[in-house]
Amino acid sequence: MLLSLACVAALHAQPDPREMAVRKLLQSTIMINQMYVDTVNMDRQVEDAITGMLSKLDPHSAYTNAADTKKLNEPLKGNFDGIGVQFNMLDDTLVVIQPVANGPSERVGIVAGDRIVTVNDTSIAGVKMSREDIMGRLRGPKGTKVRLGVVRRGIGDVLSFTVQRDKIPVKSLDAAFMLRPGVGLVRFSNFAATTHDEVTGAIRELQRQGMKDLIIDLQGNGGGYLNAAAELASEFLDKGDMIVYTRGRGGMNMGEFRSTGGGLFTKGRLVVLVDEYSASASEILAGAIQDHDRGTIVGRRTFGKGLVQRPIDLEDGSMIRLTIARYYTPSGRCIQKPYAKGDAKSYARDVIDRYNRGELTHADSIHFPDSLRYKTLKRGRTVYGGGGIMPDIFVPLDTTRYTRLHRELTARSYVNNASLHYMDGHRQQLQQQYKTFEAFNTGFTVPDEVLDGMLADAACKDSLKAKDEAELTKTRRDVARIIKGLVARDLWDMSEYFQVIYDDDPVVAKGLEVLGKGDD
C-alpha cells in the first residue's frame, strides 16, 4: 500500500520548469557537440549561449571572456603587471611620454622621449603593430623580465635595457588643483578600489593650500564600484545620513549605505559637475549630495543607470555581470532610465535621442511625470527619478564650441601628433625654460609654425581645410589650447593638462559662478 501511494505521488508530481530548462540546454549542448555534421567549437558555442541569454535581460547584464574580463578589471583593481611607462604612438613608433615614478622602467634609466623599438629582439617600430599587441608584449607577470631596445635623441646606438616587470598602479584621479584662491577642483575617471584614498589624499593637499570650497568634476565618469561611491559620499555628509539603498527581486532589501561620520569635507561649499556620460557610481554620489541638499549639481542630466550588477567569476577566468538589484537615492528615487528587455540598441542610442530632442541644449525640453516627483530631505526641493540625476543648474551643450575643422583634426589624430612632434624636438628646451607649471602657463604660447604645419599636413593628406577665415581663426585658437594642454601633460601630469583646458570650460565656469554667488 505504501509503495502504491508513493507511485501515485510521483505520477502527480510536477517537474520544476527551471530544472527542465537547464536539462534541455545541457542536452542540446551535448547533442550538438556529438552529432553535428561539422566540428564545433564548443567554447564558442557556450559563450554564444550565455551571451544570448543575457542579451534578453536588461542592458547592463553582460558576459566577458577571460581576456576581456582582465582588461575590464584592471582600471578598477588599481594596478596591473607591466614595465611602468605612459606612452603614445608617433609615426608607428612607441614614444615614452613619462615613466611611472619609481617604476621598473625609471629604475633602469628609461626617460621621457625614449623610443622603444624592440621587445625581446622583436621589432615593434615601423611595423604597424596594434597598440593592444604592443601592450601585450610589454606586460607580463610581476617578476618576469623583458629586454627593450631603446633609441634616444642625441645617441646614435640602440640602447639595451632589461626591465623586471612589477605591479603598476592605475590611478583614477585625473586632476586636483586650485582653480582660484580658496576653490579647489578634483576630477577622477571612475570609482575604483583606490579612488577613495586617492581623492581624499588630494582633498587634504588642497586644504593645505587653503581650499575652502570644492568642485567635484564627474563629467564623463562612467562609475565603478558602489562601495567606492558610498565611501566617498561619506566624506561630505553627516553621520547616519543615507547614501544609497538597494532592492532586489520582489523588493527584497539588499542592503544600504549610510555615512559613517567624521568626513573630511562636511562644511565647505560643494559643487558637483555632471553630464550625460556621468553614470552609475557617479549618480550615487551626485544623488546623495543633491538629496541631502549638501551641494549644488551643475551640468546636464546624467546617464540614468540605477541597476546593480554582481560579478560572477567563472572557472576559466571569464565573468558574468548579472543585474541583481536596483539602487535608490536617499529620497527614494530610482534613477534608472526606461529600457525594453532585449533592446540594447535603442538603449545605447539614448544620448543621441536626447540630443535630437533638444534635451542637451534646452532644459525645458526635459519632461518628468509627476509620479516621479520627490523632495530633498532638508530643504524640500523638488527632484525627479526615472532617468538620471537632473542638475540643479543646467548648462547647455555648446554645439558651436568646436568647429567642424577642429573635430576632424582631432578625430584623425592631427592635433595629438602635432603635440608629440613638437615635444619630441623641444622637450629639453622646454624643461630648461620652464621650471614650474605656473611659469609655463603664463609664458608659453604654441608657435605658429606648429599650427601651420599641422594644417598644411591635414590639407595635403586628407583635404581638410577651413570653409572661411572665421572658422580658421577659431580653430587655430582652440587647437592651440589643446596642444598647450598636451605639452603641459607631457612635462608634468594630467592635473596640468586640465588646468590649461578648463580655462575655457563652460561647466567649470558655471561651477565657479555658483560659488561666487554664495550658493551651496
CATH code at 254?
Answer: 3.90.226.10
User: Which phi and psi (to 5°) does residue 388 adopt?
Assistant: 85, 180
For residues 207 and 347, membership in a common domain is answered with yes
Q: What is the pLDDT of residue 2?
A: 47
State pLDDT tens for residues 147-166: 999 998 878 788 999 999 99
Tell whether 29 is covered by a domain. no
Q: In the structure grid, which three cell numbers stand for residue 3, read together?
A: 509503495
pLDDT digits (tens, 9 = 90+) for 113-145: 889 999 998 998 888 888 888 888 898 899 999
Residue predicted with more confidence, 102 or 466: 466
Among 145, 169, 193, give the residue marking a domain's end.
169
Would you state the pLDDT for residue 43? Answer: 86
Catalytic residues: 280, 291, 305
Q: Does 260 lie in the same domain as 351?
A: yes
**Of 463, 504, 457, 496, nearest to 480 (Cα)?**
504
Shared-domain flag, residues 311 and 183: yes
Q: How many CA atoms lie within 13 A of 287 on its CB side?
A: 36
Q: Which three cell numbers stand for residue 346?
A: 535603442
- The rounded percent of the chain whose pLDDT value lies above 70 is 97
Strands 253-258 and 373-375: unpaired
Can you point out the beta strands (E) in 165-269? 166-169, 173-180, 183-188, 213-217, 242-247, 253-258
User: What confidence score (pLDDT) does residue 157 get?
Assistant: 85
Judge whether residue 175 has pLDDT over 60: yes
Angle at which helices 469-491 and 494-501 pack, to 10 degrees? 160
Q: Is residue 517 a part of any domain in this protein?
A: no
Last residue of a domain, one of 351, 380, 397: 397
Q: Are residues 424 and 347 in the same domain?
A: no
- The 3-state DSSP composition of the chain as helix, strand, coil percent (nearest 5) reads 40, 20, 35
Residues 183 and 240 in one domain: yes
Same domain, residue pair 207 and 150: no
Spell out the alpha helix ranges (H) of 384-447.
404-411, 414-433, 437-443
Domain that holds residue 325: 173-397
265 and 366 together in one domain: yes
Q: Do 420 and 321 fall into the same domain? A: no
Q: What is the pTM of this model?
A: 0.89
DSSP single-letter state for residue 83 = -
Mean pLDDT, the chain, rounded, equals 91
Checking if the pLDDT of 517 tops 50, the result is: yes
| Percent of the chain surpassing pLDDT 90 | 66
Convert the pLDDT of each residue in 379-398 to its tens digit. 999 999 988 999 999 999 99
The mean per-residue pLDDT over the stretch 7-25 comes to 71
The Cα 420–Cα 432 span in angstroms is 18
Please give the tally of structural domains in the chain: 3
| Together in a domain, 219 and 300 | yes
CA distances from residue 375 to 251, 290, 329, 369, 378 in whole angstroms, order as listed: 22, 10, 11, 14, 9
CA distance 275 to 303: 8
- Give the model's pLDDT for residue 386: 86
Instruction: For residues 77 and 118, give the distance between their C-alpha atoms in angstroms, rounded to a whole number.
Output: 29
- Give yes or no: residues 221 and 286 share one domain: yes
The answer to the question of residue 35 being in a domain is no
Buried b (16+ CB within 10 A) or exposed e, 356-367: eeebbeebeebe
Joined together, the cell numbers standing for residue 259 give: 555615512
| Cβ–Cβ under 8 Å, residues 330 and 377 | yes
Q: Average pLDDT for residues 243-261, to the nearest whole number? A: 93
Handedness of CA 458, 132, 153, 98 (dihedral sign): positive
- The last residue of one of the domains, among 397, 423, 446, is 397
**Are residues 338 and 302 part of one domain?**
yes
- Please give the average per-residue pLDDT across 471-481, as a whole number: 96
pLDDT over 70 at 8, yes or no = no
Over the stretch 190-222, which tens digit does the pLDDT of each residue have?
999 999 999 999 999 999 999 999 999 999 999
Question: Is there a domain that residue 115 lies in?
Answer: yes
Question: Which range is least confidently modeled, 52-56, 256-260, 481-485?
Answer: 52-56
CA angle (49, 52, 54) in 5-degree steps: 110
